[in-house]
Amino acid sequence: MNKALTLLILLFLLGCQSKENSETSATTEASDLMAIADSLAHAYIITDGHVDLPYRLKETNFDLLTDGEILLSTEEGDFDYERAKKGGLDAPFMSIYIPAEYQVTGGAKELADSLIDMVEGITKLYPEKFALAVTPEEVRRNFTEGKISLPMGMENGAPIGDNLSNVEYFRNRGIRYITLTHSKNNLICDSSYDTTRLWNGLSPFGQEVVKEMNRVGIMVDISHVSDSTFYDVMDLTDVPVIASHSSCRHFTPGFERNMADDMIRRLGEENGVIQINFGSTFLDEHSQKVSNDLGDFMESHPDLSDSARDAYRQKFMTDNNFWSNVSKVADHIDHVVELAGIDHVAIGSDYDGVGDSLPVGLKDVSMFPNLIAELLKRGYSYEDIEKICYKNVFRVWQAVEDAASI
């Protein structure tokens, strides 16, 4: 049966008149609410701005030919086909993550190419389940065919090196957003995590990179950049930008990796989108404090064995209630809506990139219906949820595609 028709029948049976209803009846049972949320998760495309599957696989010396089946079902990591299908995830942007160390050792471009090769290999190994996608329309087509799309974003512009032609090279390889930097300043700009402030924003070369990304049709991702870099980008870009996996600094004061209120407002004014990161330390000041206290302890006890460190870590996090929850993710969405409006918020989980810090209720890609249920409880309409799931990101993606001159 057509997915949309299934949804409509279910909503009718549950007494919901249309997708435009903005409230769920107070008498709706929790099980019914979850049934609606699950149906919405499977009727709408869900796009996630940042999933670190490729690098997670690289770290385990993954081999497509011998290890490919773990892509379908595994207890490791946060993503596989079975769990993605259960959660309704249709278009996770595969992160082509380049650690900052490659800016020193070299090999950034080679690593990027190898991770892109891996993503391409997944779609060739399981063509009935996964497909590449470089436009919103390709995601829509894959969705109607029941396939999970694997669009790609490159986390850290280091593979560009000092050669501007590499921007177009990576577009031709399928990259559709580039996070300008990661944990250290690079040739393009300053990082939020690097206090040296080498460029005080974009470098002169970085300005050319942003212009070239506009020209060839690659979204500019301002996650990880310093505040000054963000404002430089906003003053320069001709098209909307994204924050592929960031949250709201309002809830984590002093954490520059998240976006301040004025930045979120400016992003909205320029028609961009912030995609909320699910990591507990991105969501909750308490989680950050527990994490910092744990780090201080580990630093002061360097002689502990690995097993002792792991045991202490788990006990400390449990005893101090480290983990945030799905409600806090919804708080961040609420905050963006209050500042910038419903058209400027989306999902950027950072699955497979934030370790075991994921919040209660969103521990892996099977759990997106839990977030949708929370949004329904808060009065979000079906149209609102559809925007958060994919329409807001598709708007930016399409605008960048349309403005490209190649």
Task: Count CB atoms within 10 A of the CB of residue 253.
Answer: 10
Task: Output the pLDDT for position 30.
Answer: 84
What is the rounded average pLDDT of the residues 3-8?
50
| Residue 81 pLDDT level (bands cut at 50, 70, 90) | very high
What is the rounded average pLDDT of the residues 220-241?
98
Please state, rounded to an integer, the average pLDDT across all residues of the chain.
94
Whether residue 103 is predicted with pLDDT greater than 60 in this model: the reply is yes
What is the rounded average pLDDT of the residues 296-311?
94
Whether residue 386 is predicted with pLDDT greater than 80 in this model: the reply is yes
Whether residue 5 is predicted with pLDDT greater than 50 in this model: the reply is no
Asked if 96 and 175 touch (Cβ cutoff 8 Å), the reply is yes
| Residue 29 pLDDT level (bands cut at 50, 70, 90) | confident
Could you tell me the pTM of the whole model?
0.93
Summarize pLDDT for 129-176 with one digit per residue, the tens: 999 999 999 999 999 999 999 999 999 999 999 999 999 999 999 999
Ramachandran region, residue 44 (left: φ > 0; alpha: ψ -120 to 50; beta: rest) = beta
Summarize pLDDT for 336-384 with one digit per residue, the tens: 999 999 999 999 999 999 999 999 999 999 999 999 999 999 999 999 9
Whether residue 4 is predicted with pLDDT greater than 70 in this model: the reply is no
Task: Output the pLDDT for position 251.
Answer: 98
Task: Output the pLDDT for position 11.
Answer: 53
The 8-class DSSP code of residue 225 comes to: B
Summarize pLDDT for 36-74 with one digit per residue, the tens: 999 999 999 999 999 999 999 999 999 999 999 999 999
What is the rounded average pLDDT of the residues 228-243?
98
| Residue 31 pLDDT level (bands cut at 50, 70, 90) | confident
| Residue 13 pLDDT level (bands cut at 50, 70, 90) | very low
What is the rounded average pLDDT of the residues 268-277?
98
Summarize pLDDT for 185-208 with one digit per residue, the tens: 999 999 999 999 999 999 999 999
More confident residue, 155 or 22: 155
Angle at 276 between CA 181 and CA 240, to 5 degrees: 60
More confident residue, 395 or 3: 395
Task: Output the pLDDT for position 7.
Answer: 54
What is the rounded average pLDDT of the residues 6-27?
48
Whether residue 20 is predicted with pLDDT greater than 70 in this model: the reply is no
Q: How many helices (H) and strands (E) does the chain have?
A: 19, 10
Question: Would you tell me the crossing angle of helices 227-236 and 261-269 to the nearest 10 degrees?
Answer: 10
| Residue 1 pLDDT level (bands cut at 50, 70, 90) | very low
Question: Can you tell me the distance from the alpha carbon of 360 to that of 186, in angstroms, rounded to the nearest whole number?
Answer: 35
| Residue 22 pLDDT level (bands cut at 50, 70, 90) | very low
The structure tokens listed for 336 are: 């963006």
The structure tokens listed for 317 are: 């996090």
More confident residue, 346 or 8: 346
CB-based contacts of 51, cutoff 8 Å, min separation 6: 78, 79, 92, 93, 94, 95, 349, 350, 351, 352, 353, 365
